[in-house]
Structure 1
Amino acid sequence: MSVVVVRGAVAVVEDSARVRTGDVVIADGRVVDSADLTGARVVDASGCVVTPGLVNAHHHLLQTAFRTLPGTRGIPMRDWLPAMAAAYADAVVDPELTLLAARAGLAEALLSGVTTVADHHLTWPSGADTVGIARGAATAASDLGARVAFVRGAARDDPQEAAISAEAIVSALVPDGVGGVSADGMLQIAVGPAGVHSDPRETFALLGEVARRHGLRRRTQANEVVDVEIALERYGRRPLDLLEEWGWLGPDVTLAHLCDVTPDEIARLAASGVTATHAPGCDVPMGWGVAPVRRLLDAGIPVGLGTSGGGSNDAGHLLADARLAMQVSALVGPQLPASEVLTMATAGSADGLGRSDLGRLTPGSAGDLCLWDVSGVADAGVADPVAGLLWASPGRRPRSVLVAGRVVVDEGRLVTADEGEIVARLFERVAR
C-alpha cells in the first residue's frame, strides 16, 4: 500500500464549507480516515491551507494555442466565432496540435491548482483523425498526471459523422469504462454540441443516443448573447425552450454560461435537475454577460466554475476566475462569499461531471489536493485564510499539488514535465 500524509496545515478544506485541522491521509490514491503510517511519505503543509484539487468545469484546451489573437478581443460573439474558426483553419487542427495545446493548457492548470479539466473540444476538420485528436488530449493529461474529461463536441459538424466519431472515441479510449470513466478515474469521455446557435436538433439527438448507450454525461453551452439571438432568429424560440423540447434538460446535462436567463427559465432548469457552469473569465471581459449565480444556487441548481478557453479568456487560472466570480456577483445580486465560490470550483464542478469522488477531501474521495502557502506578505493581516485564498494575492499559485496521491507540482514547479519544453514545442507548432 502506498501512503501519503499531508501534515501541519493551517486549515484543511474538506468539503463545501467544512474546514478542519490535522492530517490528510491518502492510501493508494484515495483519502482515508487512517492507515498504517510506517514508511509513509510525509508532505509538509506548514503555513499552508490545503484544499481539494480544483476542477475546471469548462475549458477549450485547443484554444491555449490561440491566445491574444489580434481582432478577437472585446468584439460581438457573432464576429468572434468566425475569427477563431479562421485561426483554427490556418493552423490545421490535427492530433499533434491538440496534444501540444493540451499539454500547455494542462500544465498551466496543474501549476494553478487545477487537477481535473473538462475539455469541450469543438473543432473537428472534415476528414480529421477524430480518435487521434481525442487521444492527443488524453495523452497530454496522462503524461502530466492530470485528470481530463474530454467532451466530444460539435460545431456545425455533420450530425452522423459526429455521432460515429463519438462512438469511436469511447471504444478507443474507455472501452471498459463505466459511464465513460476509465477504471483509474483519470480519463472521462462526454458529449456535447456547442449550442443551439451552432448545431441542429439532429446533432443533439444523435449525440444524446451515444450518451445513453454508454452512460456518458452530456454538456452544452446556453444563453450567452449570440445563443439567444440566433435561436430567436432561426427558431423563434429561446435556447432553453429548444433544449427542453430536444430532450437536453436532465440530471445528466451541464449547461455552461447561462448569462441571460429569466426567473421562469431558472425554475424550469431547477425542476429538470441540470447542473450549471459559470465562466466569468470569458463572459465578463468579452462583454457577453454575467450569470445570475446567486439565483441559480438559491433555486437548487448545482453550479461549477470554468475558465472557458484561451480564445476568450487568455488564462486558465481557475482560482483567479473564482475571485472574479465573487467580484462581479454583486452586479447581478448579493455578493457570493468566498467559501461558496471555492465550493463551486471544487465539488460544484465535480458534481457537473457526475464525479462525487472529486472536489472533496473526505474518506473515499480521490487524493487530489493543493497546498496553498498563506504565510507570506500577500496574506499578512488576513483574518480568514480560506477566504484569503480568493480575496488576497490574485493569481497565486500552489506550493504543491497532488493527484491520486502523486506529487505533480512541488515548490511551484512541474514534476512530470519540463515547462520550457512544453512552451517551445507549442510555439514551434503554431509558428508564432
Structure 2
Amino acid sequence: MAERIVLDGAAIATVDGPEHVEGHVVVKGDRIAAVGAGRAEPGPGERIDVRGCLITPGLVNTHHHLYQHATRGYAADAPLFEWLTRLYPVWAGLDEDIAHAAAAAGLARLALSGATTAADHHYVFPRGGGDVFGAVVAAAGSIGLRLHAVRGSMDRGRSRGGLPPDSLVEDPDAALAGTDAAIGRFHDPSPSSTVRVAVGPCSPFSASERLLRDCAELARARGVRLHTHLAETADEQRQCLAETGRTPVEYADDVGWLGPDVWLAHTVHLTAPEVARLAGTGTGSAHCPASNGRLGAGTAPLRELLDAGVPVGLGVDGAASNESGGLGEELRQALLTARARGGPAALSVREALHAATLGGARCLGRQEEIGSLRPGKLADLAVWRLDGLEHAGIEDPVAALVLGPPPPLRLLLRGGRPLVEDGRLSSVSEVDLARDLRTASTAIRARAERLEVAP
C-alpha cells in the first residue's frame, strides 16, 4: 500500500472521541494523520472508498494461550481443574514446530476477527521441546500482529500439590533465568514495537510463593509488566483459602502481585472489597467471557469492575477452552453475560467496544499508542463491512458490530500495514495454515495416545 492512505466515507467510532456517521481516516506511514467528519481533502496517496463500513481501532486481545490451538475439543464437558489435569499430559508433547503451527493459526484467527494486538501467556516448556517461546514470537512476525509475549512458568508439579505432571514444571531458578533471557532476547519497549515481553508465572496453584515473589521482583527490575491467572473458579478459591488462609486476591496482594503494572486473567470470583482493591492499585483485568462459560467458571463482576475504575480488556483465552479463537465475537459475549448477571444496564454496546480496544490497551500499558483513533497514534485499525444482509437496517453501526454476527473485514491495518484485505489474510495462505495446524494437532494427539493420556 501507499505511504499515505485515505479511508473515505465510513462511519467512525474513535472510542475516546466523537463518532462520525460518515467520515475519514488518513494514515501516513505507521501513524494516524487525521480523523474527521465528511470526505477527506484531496491529497497524495491511495484513496479507498469504504462507504457501508465502520472503522474502529484494531481490537486488543489481553489473554491467550496460542499453543492450545493444536488441542481444541479436548475435555469438552470438564470444569477447569479436571480440564487441566487431562490436558497437561497432552501438552507435554508440545515442541517448537507444533507451537509455531498452533500460534500461526491462532494469530490468523485473531486477525480475521479484527485483532491487531495479542497478549499470549506461554507457560509450558516440555523437556526436549526446543524453542517453543521463540516459535510463538516467530509466528507473530509471520502473521503481523503486535505480540505481548508473556513468559510464563510453573514450579508446582503434582508432587508439590499442583496439577501438572512434574515433568512439565521448571526449577524456580531455571524459570527465572529463562524469563530473564526472554526479556533480553525479545522485549522492545519502543512506542511502535511489535513485540514486548511480560513476566507471567501461571497461577497461584501452579507456582510457588517464592516463584511469584521472585518473578514480580524480576519484572520490576527489568521494567516489564506482570500477568497471571487469578480468581477464575470456585475450586481455586477453596484451594487458596485452604493452603494460605487467604483468597486469591488477598494472596496476590501479599506477594506483590497487584499494581498498575499488573493485569490479571479472569477475576471471576471477587468480593466488593477485592474489586475496590484492584481499582485502588490500578490492577487490570482480562475478561474472558466465552472461556469462562465453556468451563463453567462463572461470570465476572464486569459492571462492578468498570464502575470502580478497574482497567478491563477482553481476552479470548486459549483455543482449548474457546475453540472459536476469535476476538470479535467476545464483544457480544461480554455484553450478553454481563446483562445475564446484572440486567440490561450492565454493559452498553460502546462499553463492550471500549473494553475490546482502549480498555485492553490500558491493561497492556499501551493506551497512548493504540486502542483509539486519534492523530499521532499507531495506525492499528479495523474496517468492518456492515452493508450485507447480516447487518442491513441496523442504524447504529456500533450496535451492528456488537449485537450482530461478526462482520467481515474490508481491511485490517497494523501500523499502516494490511493484515487482512476483503476478508482474507494479506501475506499468509489460510490453506497452508490449516494444513500445518492439522499436522500439528495430529502429532500432539499421537504422542498423547502413545502415553495413553488422550481424551
What TM-score results when the alignment is normalised by the length of structure 2?
A: 0.88
Q: How does 1:182-197 map to 2 (within 5 A)?
A: 184-197=192-205
Maintained 8 Å contact 1:15/1:362: no
Q: Is residue 86 from structure 1 mapped to residue 117 from structure 2 by the alignment?
A: no
1:100 aligns with 2:125: no
In the alignment, which residue of structure 1 is the partner of 2:448?
none
Q: Matched residues in 2 for 1:234 and 1:75: separation? A: 24
CA distance in 2, matches of 1:136, 1:54: 23
| Counterpart position of 2:60 | 55
Q: What letter corresponds to residue 380 of structure 2 in structure 1?
A: D
The letter for the 2-side match of 1:318 is L
Measure, in 2, the Cα distance between the counterparts of 1:390 and 1:426.
29
The aligned length equals 419
Query: Structure 1: which amino acid aligns with 2:400?
Result: G
Q: Secondary structure of 2:341's match?
A: coil
After superposition, the CA RMSD in angstroms is 1.8
C-alpha distance in 2 between matches for 1:401 and 1:86? 37
**In 2 relative to 1, CA 414–216 (structure 1 residues): closer, same or farther, beyond 3 Å?**
same
1:338 alignment counterpart: 349
Asked if structure 2 preserves the Cα contact closer than 8 Å seen for 1:17 and 1:340, the reply is no
Matches within 5 A, 1:22-171: 22-33=23-34, 38-69=43-74, 72-89=75-92, 92-126=93-127, 128-129=129-130, 132-156=131-155, 157-171=170-184
Q: Equivalent of 2:401, from 380, 386, 389?
A: 389
Note the alpha carbon deviations across 1:355-381, whole angstroms, 9 max, x for none: 121111111211011111111121122
Q: Does 1:256 align with 2:265?
A: yes
Counterpart of 1:155 in structure 2: which amino acid? M
User: Is 1:350 the equivalent of 2:367?
Assistant: no
Q: Retained in 1: the 8 A contact 2:6–2:25?
A: yes
**8 Å CA contact 2:202, 2:228 repeated in 1:** yes
- State whether structure 2 residue 410 is matched by structure 1 residue 399: yes
Cα distance 1:17–1:282, how it changes in 2: closer, same or farther (>3 A)?
farther
Q: TM-score, normalised by structure 1?
A: 0.93
Ranges in structure 1 where 5+ consecutive residues have no aligned partner: none
* % identical equivalent positions: 37
Partner of 1:373: 385
Amino acid in the other structure paired with 1:215: G
In 1, Cα distance between equivalents of 2:136 and 2:231: 28
Amino acid at match of 1:172: R
**Residues 408 and 422 in structure 2, CA contact (< 8 A), matched pair in contact too:** no
Q: In 2 relative to 1, CA 383–39 (structure 1 residues): closer, same or farther, beyond 3 Å?
A: closer
Describe the SS at the equivalent of 1:379: coil
Give deviations 1:216-252, integer Å, cap 9, x for gaps. Answer: 0101111111321221222221111111100111000
State the shift of 1:36 in Å.
9.9
Q: CA deviation at 1:42?
A: 2.1
**Hey, what's the Cα distance between the residues in 2 that align with 1:224 and 1:301?**
17
Unaligned runs of 5+ in 2: 156-169, 446-455
TM superposition shift of 1:33: 2.8
CA distance in 1, matches of 2:115, 2:290: 15
Instruction: In structure 1, give the amino acid aligned to 2:13.
Output: V
1:38 Cα offset (Å):
4.7
**Other-structure match for 1:266:** 275
Q: Is the 8 A contact 2:33 2:375 kept in 1?
A: yes
SS in structure 2 at match of 1:170: helix
Corresponding residue for residue 249 of structure 2: 240
The answer for the alignment partner of 1:213 in structure 2 is 221
3-state SS in 2 of match to 1:224: coil
